[in-house]
Amino acid sequence: MTHIILSGANGAMGRTIARLAGETHGVKIVAGLDKNTQGAADFPIYASPEQLPEIKGVLVDFSHPSAFDGILRYALDTETPLVMCTTGLAPEQLDAIRAAAKRIAVFHSANMSIGINLLADLARRAAALLQDQFDIEIIERHHNKKIDAPSGTALMLADAMREALSEQPRYVYDRHAVRERRQKNDIGFSSVRGGTIVGEHEILFAGTDELIELRHTATSKEVFAVGALRAAVYLENKGPGLYNMSNLIQEV
């Protein structure tokens, strides 16, 4: 039985994970973290990591970058494996994750969907084959409450393609500000925010007289919750190191 400490327990993703965990054999939410401690959860919810007792299990974080320091400190102090699902992290926070992985097991992915991680692999292969003749653009669409732009997943897809490109790309987030002709090595980002769109990511390879499109659409938050639970089970008995969805997929 994998015991899970759920950070962001009363958020939309936290509630989805808690519901699925109750329906999934072999996993159990034993404690939660959230500024809002009210609710109908069947596990205790603490307002801060400082109030959380030391519990043997895996810490799954679906909260907010502002909570990052306390979450990471708790994981390090208690040597608790950490599944970091929160997006919009600053570069120094990403550096802190890499440093923490030298002491504890850390699972970090910008997107917990297996489908998105397959898309990243396909995009990497396509970029390697098409780089000299096709322009690359990424369009991402999310609900109107999402704060960060471009999405962490869009950046993850771009980084995957960058690994395959012979020339380092230039990421362009705002063509209105750039006001110049597109450069050959640009990867452009377009962000759409509206309604209740769970998440759509589209990669365009635009060539002369032809257009190739790779797309992933999430129709519910459950795909991310399922991935987070699988990551927690995967990470439970791992030694110190930085793991991601590609590692999980390869070992399943």
Alpha carbons within 13 A on the beta-carbon side of 154:
27
9 labelled ligand-binding: yes
158 labelled ligand-binding: no
64 labelled ligand-binding: no
Q: Of 108, 142, 201, 216, which one is the catalytic site residue?
A: 142
Q: Of 3, 146, 221, 238, which one is the catalytic site residue?
A: 146
**Please, are residues 209 and 140 in contact by the beta-carbon 8 Å criterion?**
no
87 labelled ligand-binding: yes
Rounded-to-integer distance, Cα 183 and Cα 59, Å:
43
35 labelled ligand-binding: yes
Residue 201 annotated as catalytic? no
Residue 166: partners with Cβ closer than 8 Å, 6 or more residues away: 131
8 labelled ligand-binding: yes
135 labelled ligand-binding: no
Rounded-to-integer distance, Cα 140 and Cα 79, Å:
36
186 labelled ligand-binding: no
Tokens of 235: 């990470």
Let me know how long the chain is: 252
57 labelled ligand-binding: no
109 labelled ligand-binding: yes
End-to-end CA distance of the chain: 18
Residue 56 annotated as catalytic? no
Using CA atoms, how far residue 212 sits from 86, 147, 180, 209, in Å, is 31, 29, 24, 11
Annotated binding residues, written as ranges, equal: 8-13, 34-35, 85-87, 109-112, 143, 152-153
Annotated binding residues for (S)-2,3,4,5-tetrahydrodipicolinate, written as ranges, equal: 143, 152-153
Active site residues: 142, 146
Annotated binding residues for NAD(+), written as ranges, equal: 8-13, 34, 85-87, 109-112
